[in-house]
Structure 1
């Protein structure tokens, strides 16, 4: 039996050294990490019974004085080996003499190779001594614990004894956050670079640059602005640029092809606080009553907790001669809609809730439970594009089938609302531009909307004159 220690910078290289020296039948006695890398102690022709007898014999002998420190893996050979261990080794070597040796002849082993039994017994005894084990030799497992065999595949990357995975610590979390921040910064840098390249392409054409400036003044989002500007031919004449730009914008606006009032049924209006839902409900009811009869229309409000919420709808109902009903829960709403199924048109005015209000989810669940309800989202045109985008995302649970754009008379940058509609592909149904019932309600038309962009911007930029304000008052 031959025992030898191998040191390499990683476990894979050390296993390859073991296999090259001892063959595929080598037995790994121990392994550990050192300053130089990985250390493996391996043996060939391993016999557990022989090791146990040699270990017992070494323990029965008196402790020998410590020998000089060996060089790396060279074991000192004692001058007087135990007789019984040497005889047992000779008997084992004589037993397989008749078996053919399949391995080819190797060159002479280096001086570090040791012929085993006596020195192995001394090494085992020294390994079980605490002081010696800490100084020179790795700890050898007991005979009752069978060592693991080396893998027959030298290229296998997994080590014989895999180290335990490192626990996730706060430091690794910080590294992960740093990586995410770096990826986010790289993405922003790429987006800025792409925008810069696009801007350079647009600056090369005066008509495109003019279109970008106009759309920016109208309040359009940067993405839509670049898309429209790039569709304008670079050699377009300057006086045709604005008309071509407005035509491209109108083609991108989604318009509902059918008036929901013609289909009638149950229509619910949802939207944030102050969007103009109640006033729009009154305008729709008045318009439908003028075309048909007031008894064909019913109004329903779910705003039963907010002060003054239902009173405004009751006031409109009395003026128009239309019945108003209340629903304060999902069950009551379902029962009420069941009782109102004979009406040709039922308009549901939902509670005005902020898009971040937790009660919003309950309101949307009511509408989802009533499957016969068609939902329209009311968006105020005088809000910023980012705020309108958040409103649309928050009210997606209601599955809106269209948009009512309100308060066009209160904004000079209609492009923000139009950008939101284009981004989310929500068809426009009606627009409102005042408080008159039902005079300030209009069917959405793409051409009319883009033509009003310049009028609204100029109206917003027009200076206030105290004399005119006083005359109006």
Structure 2
């Protein structure tokens, strides 16, 4: 039997070294990771009986002597206290002490038995012998107690960098497992023709993969193919959160927030025009905080003059609070905030204005012609304003309405109004789940329709 130790940077290299040295019949006795890398102890021509005999002899050599029974001792005999047991040697020492033969010496040296039989010019070192610690006699009464051995200190806790690395690794593993589970779920869903049709349609409409997967799972796999689209649209409409009450009917202060170019000012003009047509201009007031942008206040003042509504300005949180106190007798006060990007540093200051002015209902304006990831970021950045609902604008400018609807479903923000044009107030509609899902196909076809230029007309 030949035993040898191998050290390599990684496990694969260590196993390659074992195979090259001992062949395919090598037996791995132990493996562990050290500062040098991976350590493997392997053997060839492995003799299990010899190893078992060596271990048995080492165990017998280290067993303590039987303790005498004081009750069975002869009368008058003095019973000696048992000596302290010697420490048990480790596995390597026991093997070296038991295998004190030429073959064992060859094994411990890492050479074959045939090589060990030949006379060697250098004498092999003696086998290591375990040295027992001297027994400690019990201290007499009144003597000072011996000093206790120092208690080993526990290992220091991992540093913040190590903990952060572990958290990041766990997050990556979780994301990988989720992706794999989603992939397996998609493969299973695509095995059903009706589910495959629903998933392809929802992908064409722009829906996110999460809501697409949830809807497809609710469709029975044996549903007839001609009923799949209608069932899919019905399930999507059930997921859409719709505000049951019109915020304009409730009254109060309503502030519209959202990113740049979302259509907040035009939407306020449509809401004001709708209110004036039903209740008159005396019970509504307009407020703008967009005093820094060129042309911002002028646009709202122009709408106010056309509708006969007073327009007020506030350039700070204190000015906004005082202004709202003066306008508390109005039934409805619409506040137009400055259009800021979701990563603008001034966004936090603007949201603090609205939190300082209490009893303000906030509505988030989302443009439907934006990508899912961008809309999701907008919702997260404006979450500090605690919006009570969503106004979905520019519905006529997108062919993939499912992207905006997916964000609304994921964050469970109730839809209040829908705008699909520039006309005031004709292009403002109360949100309705059934009408939204029915427009999905029309919007997709309109976006995919080729652009046919108008024919040139001859001038007479």
Bin the TM-score by the shorter chain: 0.5 to 0.7
1:237 paired to 2:236 = no
Change (3 A) 1:281 1:162: same
Distance 1:347 1:114, change over 3 A: closer
TM-score, normalization: structure 2? 0.67
Inter-partner Cα distance in structure 1 for 2:348 and 2:209: 32
Are positions 1:290 and 2:277 aligned together? yes
2:321 maps to which residue? 334
Shift in Å, 1:181 = 4.5
Residue 378 (str. 1) matches residue 365 (str. 2): yes
Judged with a 3 Å threshold, the aligned counterparts in structure 2 of structure 1 residues 445 and 163 are, in CA distance, closer, same or farther, namely same
Aligned to 1:261: 248
Please state how far the C-alpha of 1:267 moved relative to its aligned partner.
0.7
RMSD of the TM alignment (CA)?
2.8
1:311 to 290, 298, 320: 298
Separation of aligned partners in 2, 1:254 and 1:417: 13
Aligned to 2:405: 418
Quick one: structure 1 residues 293 and 105, their matched pair in 2 at CA, closer, same or farther if it must change by over 3 Å?
same
In structure 1, the gaps of 5 or more residues are: 1-101, 117-145, 151-159
Map of 1:444 onto structure 2 = 431
Are the aligned partners of 2:219 and 2:232 in contact in 1 as well (CA < 8 Å)?
yes
1:269-303 Cα deviation digits (max 9, x unpaired):
01111110000000000000000111221100001
Match of 1:458 among 445, 448, 452: 445
The TM-score normalised by the length of structure 1 is 0.65
Comparing 175-184 with 218-227, greater Cα deviation is found at 175-184
Q: 2:262 aligns with which of 275, 278, 288?
A: 275
The residue that corresponds to 1:351 in the other structure is 338
CA, structure 1 residues 244+147, in 2 after alignment: closer, same or farther (shift >3 Å)? same
In the TM superposition, structure 1's runs of 4+ consecutive aligned residues that sit over 6 Å from their partners are 108-116, 468-471
Task: Describe the superposition over 1:236-291 as per-residue Cα deviations: whole angstroms up to 9, x where unpaired.
Answer: 11110000000000001000011111112111101111110000000000000000
Cα deviation digits, residues 87-106 of structure 1 (max 9, x gap): xxxxxxxxxxxxxxx99622
Tell me how far apart the structure 2 counterparts of residues 149 and 283 of structure 1 sit (CA, whole Å). 86
Task: Tell me the equivalent position of 2:26.
Answer: none
Give the CA deviation at 1:188: 2.6
1:105 matched to 2:105? The reply is: no
Worse overlay, 360-369 or 446-455: 360-369
- Give the greater-gyration-radius structure (CA): 1
Q: In structure 2, how many angstroms separate the alpha carbons of the residues matched to 1:212 and 1:463?
A: 25
Where structure 2 has 5 or more consecutive residues not aligned to the other structure, the ranges are 1-77, 87-130, 137-144
Call closer, same or farther: CA 1:207–1:309 in 2, change over 3 Å: same
**1:346/1:259 Cα in 2 relative to 1: closer, same or farther (>3 Å)?**
same
Matched residue count: 331
Tell which deviates more after alignment, 388-397 or 274-283.
388-397
1:204 aligns with 2:191: yes
Which residue of the other structure, out of 320, 326, 350, is the alignment partner of 2:307? 320
- Give the superposition deviation at 1:226: 0.5
- 1:402 alignment partner, one of 389, 404, 415: 389
The residue aligned with 2:114 is: none
Tell me the distance in 2 between the aligned counterparts of 1:285 and 1:108: 96
